[in-house]
Amino acid sequence: MASKMKQLNGQAGATTGSALVGYYSPPEDTFGPPPSEVSPHDGRKKRKDALSWDKYTCAPYFDGRLWRKYGQKNIKNSHFPRLYFRCSYYEDKHCMASKLIQQVSNDYPPLYKVTYMHEHTCNAAPIPAPDVVAEAELPAVSDGFMLRFGSYGKDYRDARMKQEQRQHNQPMSWSPSELLSFDSWSSQLQHQPALSSYVPPPAAGSSSSFPIAESLPTLPAMSGEGDVLSTCWNSFRYSVEVDHLQFDNHVDFAGDMFSRDTNMDAHLHSWACTGIEGEEILF
């Protein structure tokens, strides 16, 4: 039998109200105009003869826009699935922008190819870079901890609140990559070659905030159980000397109070933040 009823002929009206999806990655050139168009060179014509351009990045998820995932497909001759997104304003504003994400390497950090199709017509304001950045007075990294954190800042949280209001005050869940959080490694781990190759220390004696331009994707966040939370985890980095912050059980960081999880292994420390609207966020 297997009579799987399926609505044919696209343009299915309202899919069930799905949430907006946004992820954070370090700002690259994504807030500006799209890079020059690159036509596919695999010989196969794209389904839609649309304007498209490719971008290779380690931070494929957040590009300042809100996307809704609508599909995933295993691709022949690729170890990684292809993920399909369209603009979250597809229904509201009939914005035809879409993108697909294809992981192309399994390095640290993994490299992704992102193919964008159609420009946004939704006129939605791009999500600004987070306002949580490293605090001032960065010391030399020599014997410090390397902190890594991913966050949406206040602007993004405000945007989410607005979106929740649009959706009849239905709260939106946070994905792990959206949580204000950070991990730390001991300097011992930091000096391992595999890490040092892509974690250049900040300039010694730097006294300004860690430049956003120097933010780079880092290792996937690991939970206490060793699970990879999300390879879309992107972070700013900064370093502090051990005595620069109090590394006991609480840290006041950029105005948010973090408490350390007691179940941590030798190198990976996980923290909970109690600074967002009084809620404690654990992951």
Partner DNA sequence: ACCATTTGACCAAC
Partner DNA sequence: GTTGGTCAAATGGT
Instruction: Give yes or no for residue 1 binding DNA (CB under 7 A).
Output: no
Which CB sits closer to DNA, 143 or 158? 158
Per CB under 7 A, which of residues 46..85 are in contact with DNA? Answer: 46-48, 68-73, 75-77, 82, 84
DSSP of 134-179: --S----STTEEEEEEE---HHHHHHHHHHHHHTTTPPPPPPGGGS
Element housing 130 (H / E)? none
- CA–CA distance, 18 with 178 (Å, rounded to integer): 17
Binding mask 203-242 for DNA (x = CB under 7 A): ----------------------------------------
CA-based max dimension of the chain: 72
The footprint of DNA on residues 137-196 (CB under 7 A) is: 167, 170, 172-173, 175
* Nearest C-alpha neighbor of 16 from the set 24, 7, 25, 28: 7
Site string for DNA, 90-109 (x = CB under 7 A): --------x-x---------
Stretch that binds DNA, among 42-50, 104-112, 194-202, 266-274 (CB under 7 A): 42-50
Contacts of 280 (CB under 8 A, 6+ apart): 259, 272, 273, 274
Q: Which residue's CB is nearer to DNA, number 152 or number 210?
A: 152
- Token pair in block for residue 37: 């168009």
**Residues of the shown chain interacting with DNA in the complex, contacts defined by CB under 7 A:** 4-8, 10-12, 15-19, 21, 43-48, 68-73, 75-77, 82, 84, 86, 98, 100, 167, 170, 172-173, 175
